[in-house]
Structures are given as C-alpha cells and as structure tokens.
Amino acid sequence: IEKNFCEGAIKKCRENFSVLLAVAKRRRAETLGGSAARRAALKLRIRIFAKKSSDFVQDRQPNLCSPYHPIWRPVE
C-alpha cells in the first residue's frame, strides 16, 4: 500500500511540474519569436538537467585531493 501511495505522489508531482513547465514555456514563447522561443525552451531543459545533475553530485563526498576543490593546497 505504501509503495503505491509513493508512486502516486511522485506521478502527481511530475504532472504538476509538467504543467508548470508548459505554462512557463508558452509565456516565454509569446514574448519571443519562433526560433528564439525554441532556443529558450532548450536552454530551460538544459538548466533543469544541470540542476538535477548538480544535486546528485552534491550528495557525494567531496574529493579533497582535487585541484578544483576550494580548500585544495599543492604539496610543497
């Protein structure tokens, strides 16, 4: 029963998000021309994907040995 409830809640959340996304795209398309509207919709999809990816990466432990880590110091 709990599994079905969770699946239903996730499905409803996806539906709500899809509706909100469609409304945002339509409003954006109304203010832009044809190809500009398509580019804006693509950028929006990329931005959403990038946010999901960064959320996934933040769940991992930071690599302190990476030179891209903010507290990394070279060995002298």
For the stretch 36-46, pLDDT in tens is 666 666 666 66
Contact 72, 64 (CB under 8 A): yes
Please give the structure tokens belonging to residue 24.
């945002």
Span 41-73, pLDDT tens digits: 666 666 666 655 555 455 555 555 666 655 655
**Sequence-ordered list of residues with C-beta below 8 angstroms from that of 76, at least 6 positions apart, any chain:** none
What's residue 23's pLDDT? 77
CA atoms of 63 and 18, how far apart (whole Å): 35
Whole-angstrom distance between the N-terminal and C-terminal Cα of the chain? Answer: 59
